[in-house]
Amino acid sequence: MFRAAYLNLGNAELHKRARAAVAGLADCRACPRDCRVNRLEDKWSACKTGRYAVVSSCFPHFGEEDPLRGWNGSGTIFFSHCNLRCVFCQNYDISQAVRPGAARPGSPPEDLAAMMLSLQQLGCHNINFVTPEHVVPQVLEALALAVDAGLTLPIVYNTSAYDSMESLALLDGVIDIYMPDFKFWSRELSEKYLKAENYPGAARAAIAEMHRQVGPLQIDANGVATRGVLLRHLVMPGQLDETRAILGWIASELGTRTYINLMDQYRPAGRVCAEHYPEINRRLSASEFSQAHQIAAELGLTRLDQRHPNPRIIRRLFR
């Protein structure tokens, strides 16, 4: 029978990790930005987040990959702000444009723990932290309280892969499912589109560590993910060389059984327009997406995400 990783870790160790993580906020290196500000005093830098995490939304998500959403949804907690500056971000209004404190106040750990427990009560299959790279200490602090109060669901760490090795060390034995999005391979394009030249190296190191911790994605008899890495890659218009390099690294370093969601959802958003970044001011073509799939096949990557209608979801929506 499945048992969430943090339950095997134990409450005492979880609280110990949480205390260590929160103490680190005094000289913050929670992500590869290494801003070194004292967030315990509510100061902030790149991530625009002080002592407490800011939650944009909390709900059962039915738009995630089939192994995550199941039939009751993935219990998504979406954090505001971000440690990247993707010029094409489809959530630009909450990740970059909003000013600190201009929207919602930060959520103390007790409130964040209550959100997790409410999602469990709704029957969600997991707790899905979206954009958590900059709030790992706050997540651990709240998770320890939620576990004390009866949380048993697996944890999904839904990330851009711009994570620090220090944060991942704290999460070892806590996270069940890592879901990184490997965006760009080259430093030049990472600087241009993400405003983070060191992204490729940081992402490779982070994803390799995630895979070391939990291995390939495991799915139970009901089609629901229980443990492992589910890797996303957003195919960008005109950037198939990036896709080829990323998929090649996955095949050689993580193995051809890696579960991958090749995504074709790109659309111009955020700061992309005819005047700024005109080369990506268009949708991905069907031909480009087909070529991305061909690249995966050539590399032996056959475990690609595909959506299938779930009759339990359909009954839930129309009952």
End-to-end CA distance of the chain: give it in Å, rounded.
30
Look at strands 218-219 and 177-180 and give their pairing. Answer: unpaired
Angstrom CA distances, 68 to 80, 153, 222, 256, stand at 21, 12, 11, 21
Mean of the per-residue pLDDT values of the chain: 93
Q: Are 137 and 114 in contact (CB under 8 A)?
A: no
pLDDT value for 295: 98
* Nearest residue to 207 via CA among 141, 174, 251, 153: 251
Structure tokens that stand for 209 in this block: 């560590």
At 16-45, the pLDDT tens digits run: 999 999 999 999 999 999 999 999 999 989
pTM to 2 decimal places: 0.94
Tens of pLDDT along the chain (319 residues) come to: 789 999 999 999 999 999 999 999 999 999 999 999 999 999 989 899 999 999 999 999 999 999 999 999 999 999 999 999 999 998 777 667 666 555 567 899 999 999 999 999 999 999 999 999 999 999 999 999 999 999 999 999 999 999 999 999 999 999 999 999 999 999 999 999 999 999 999 999 999 999 999 999 999 999 999 999 999 999 999 999 999 999 999 999 999 999 999 999 999 998 999 999 999 999 999 999 999 999 999 999 999 999 876 666 555 544 5
- How far does CA 174 lie from the centroid of its chain? 15
pLDDT value for 172: 98
pLDDT value for 71: 96
Domains of the chain, earliest start first: 5-318 (3.20.20.70)
At 153-170, the pLDDT tens digits run: 999 999 999 999 999 999
- Read off φ and ψ for residue 56, nearest 5 degrees: -85, -40
Q: Are 306 and 261 in contact (CB under 8 A)?
A: no
pLDDT value for 319: 53
pLDDT value for 175: 98
**Other beta carbons less than 10 A from residue 215's beta carbon:** 15
Structure tokens that stand for 100 in this block: 């600190």
- Read off φ and ψ for residue 207, nearest 5 degrees: -65, -40
pLDDT value for 110: 98
pLDDT value for 105: 76
Question: What is the distance between the alpha carbons of residues 298 and 296, in angstroms, rounded to a whole number?
Answer: 5
